[in-house]
Amino acid sequence: MKYKDTISFIRSLYPDKDFIPLHEPYFAGNEKKYLADCIDTTFVSSVGKYVDRFEEMVKEYTGAKYAIATVNGTAALHIALLLAGVQPGDLVITQPLTFIATCNAISYCGAKPVFVDVDPDTMGMSPESLECWLTENVEVVSLNSFELADVQPDAAFSTGRSPLNRAQPTQQDEVRSTRRSIQPSSLIAVHKTLRRPISACVPMHTFGHPCHIDKIVEICARYHIPVVEDSAESLGSYYKDRHTGTFGKLGILSFNGNKTITTGGGGMVLTDDEHLGPLAKHITTTAKKPHPWKFEHDMVGYNYRLPNVNAALGCAQMEILETILANKRETAMRYQEFFAGIPDIQYRTEPAQSISNFWLNVILLKDHIQQELFLKETNANKVMTRPAWRLMSELEMFKNSICGDLSISKEIADRLVNIPSSCRVE
């Protein structure tokens, strides 16, 4: 067995486990107490003190002015894209090395993903790849002079309508009016040949490692493209002393069962925008107008509010977040020291000027053959390991998408393995 020593080392980190999962939740605080209190009060749905408190805790921790709790990270990303101004028929730039939720949320808006490559050091979107693609394919035009191409949206564009979009994509004046209400700038980025707006850019902080988000935001600002940070995996990660998810126009977090902390299922929209913050809260609570007893709604909204019972779990988890992060960092340092002595395996540590939460530890094998062998041996010995997600650009529903050069993404996907990263109980 070629990887016997590596399997033995991972087992030494989790000596009490017969089967070692990739990442399991860690409950060591007030989780049961808060859940019992939530049940005793009967406020278990979308109204209650815990969901409000959870938002405040995340807002204080990340430094965002607004934090709006949602049922999951995908819902948070959907809402963030709508608020950024994504409309049916638009193009949204993202990376192929990401979880399916990123592209699903783009599709929910009726838009299509455009894939640019990732950086080898961060595994997140490459600013150089982004700028290269924009330079070759995009121009900035006046919104008033913009003429939408006479192209009927295909099936990928027909999956939804933004609650902020009351216009048909082919009705020029109404489209301009809607875009102006969401994005006040009089300039818009447009694909040179397709004549479709580039309405957002969605970089992801892959496996909790921050990407070069400041450069991405600067490039997108020159093209008048809003940035929506997919920070689903990076609670507790910082880039240049600033929390991920707070650089772009909007950002999102996930609290799924396999994340650094969990609410069972849950997400969060982050923003500093004084208009979009309250609007996010409004449309994620079915756009109901405040009234003591009347039910009246002023726009199409979404029933995306995080239930109080989930938020109770989240409050307890936030209280022990620093303990969890310290535990995971120590595990990461042990991995780094161990793999430093193995020439054919490269351990990926945090990028420069970053503090990573080390959500999932990452190694790169020599090639795809070794990747498959490592996955086979570890899983056969009850050590759960996983490859990266299949590149989004290779999936059936996105295989005809617009792509830049994706050579780095393809190389990483052929070599990457995630290894056990749960908190250790000693």
SS3 category, 16: coil
Work out the angle at residue 389's Cα, subtended by the Cα atoms of residues 11 and 156, and round it to the nearest 5 degrees: 160
Average pLDDT, the chain: 92
The domain limits of the chain are 4-25+321-419, 31-319
Q: Where are the alpha helices (DSSP H) in 42-99?
A: 49-62, 73-84
Q: Using alpha carbons, select from 331, 314, 35, 70 the residue that is nearest to residue 208.
A: 331
Note the pLDDT of residue 160: 37
Contact 392, 266 (CB under 8 A): no
Distance between CA atoms of 384 and 272, rounded to whole angstroms? Answer: 39
Average pLDDT over residues 118-145: 95
Highest mean pLDDT of the ranges 42-51, 156-165, 354-363: 354-363
Please provide the CATH number assigned to the domain covering 31-319: 3.40.640.10
Amino acid code (one letter) for 396: E
The pTM for the full model equals 0.92
pLDDT value of residue 206: 98
Separation between Cα atoms, residue 82 and residue 115, nearest integer Å: 19
Going by C-alpha positions, the residue among 271, 257, 365 that lies closest to residue 317 is: 257
Query: Does 44 or 417 have the greater pLDDT score?
Result: 417
Residue 157 has pLDDT above 50, yes or no: no
Distance CA 92, CA 265 (A): 26
Predicted pLDDT at 47: 82
What are the tokens at 389? 């997600």
Amino acid 145: pLDDT: 77
Q: What is the pLDDT of residue 415?
A: 98
The Cβ-side half-sphere exposure at 141, using a 13 Å CA radius, reads 17
pLDDT band of 291, cuts 50, 70, 90: confident
The pLDDT value given to residue 181: 55
Residue of 121, 88, 102 whose CA lies nearest to 203: 102
Q: What is the DSSP letter of 264?
A: S
Mean pLDDT of 221-230: 97
Residue 48's pLDDT is 84
* Class for the domain spanning 4-25+321-419: alpha beta
pLDDT for 142 beyond 60: yes
| Cβ atoms of residues 213 and 247 within 8 Å | yes
Tens digits of per-residue pLDDT, 70-127? 999 999 999 999 999 999 999 999 999 999 999 999 999 999 999 999 999 999 999 9
**Start-to-end CA span in the chain (Å):** 28
Residue 275 has pLDDT above 50, yes or no: yes
Asked if pLDDT for residue 174 goes beyond 60, the answer is no
> Mind listing the pLDDT tens digit for each residue in 359-386?
999 999 999 999 999 999 999 999 999 9
| DSSP reduced 3-state for 330 | helix
